[in-house]
Amino acid sequence: MTLPSLRETLDAHGLSAKKSFGQHFLLDLNVTRKIVRYAGPFEGRAVIEVGPGPGGLTRALLESDAGKVVLVEKDPRFIPLLGELDDGSGRLTIVEADALKVKEADLVEGPAHLVSNLPYNVGTPLLIKWLTGPWTPCALTLMFQKEVAERVVAQPGEDAYGRLAVISQAVAEARI
């Protein structure tokens, strides 16, 4: 299936990022493919993507060796656009919901990866949820604001060191 570019798709649907949702879109498919290569291989396991927006990262995930790709999108404007990515194979599931309230264990069976370009305003609370909650992903590949990423990997004695670094490093190998 040949899809129009992400920019063309956004323009055709009259969509743009909403600051109130902290949205920022990855429109360069070369970049999204590189992110997915770094996140994988998935070896047929499920991948959850939070805040897919127009689906740039989603397109790359669907090209990968991921089994099921589950999208969690809060903004209803993007649901029809994401539906256009469904090729009928049953690999794509779109869930319109707030990721802070979703129970990931209800979305996938067995181990799953989480790969997301997180909305600015919920990146930290989502990371805390995934690191301390009842559902544990087998791997997290997340895009944050630079300042948040630096807080995740900060070492004792550094200005950015705090709760986020302690939690992240206690349960995961955190790196930029």
Over the stretch 61-116, which tens digit does the pLDDT of each residue have?
999 999 999 999 999 999 999 999 999 999 999 999 999 999 999 999 988 999 99
Average pLDDT over residues 122-150: 93
Write down the pTM of the prediction.
Answer: 0.88
Using CA atoms, how far apart are residues 176 and 167, in angstroms rounded to an integer?
A: 16
Number of domains in the chain: 2
Note whether residue 62 is domain-resident.
yes
pLDDT value, residue 116: 94
Mean pLDDT of the chain, nearest integer: 90
Domain limits for position 32: 6-144
The whole-angstrom separation of Cα 45 and Cα 68 is 7
Query: 140 and 69: one domain?
Result: yes
Are 172 and 113 members of one domain?
Answer: no
Looking at residue 103, its pLDDT comes to 96
Q: What's the rounded mean pLDDT across residues 120-131?
A: 92
Q: Give the neighbor-by-neighbor strand order of the sheet with 69-73.
A: 92-96, 69-73, 46-50, 112-117, 139-143
- For residues 157 and 90, membership in a common domain is answered with no
48 DSSP assignment:
E
- 85: domain CATH number is 3.40.50.150
Q: Could you report the per-residue pLDDT of 22-54, keeping only the tens digit for each?
A: 666 777 888 999 999 999 999 999 999 999 988
Statement to judge: residues 58 and 136 lie in one domain:
yes
Q: What SS3 state is found at 142?
A: strand
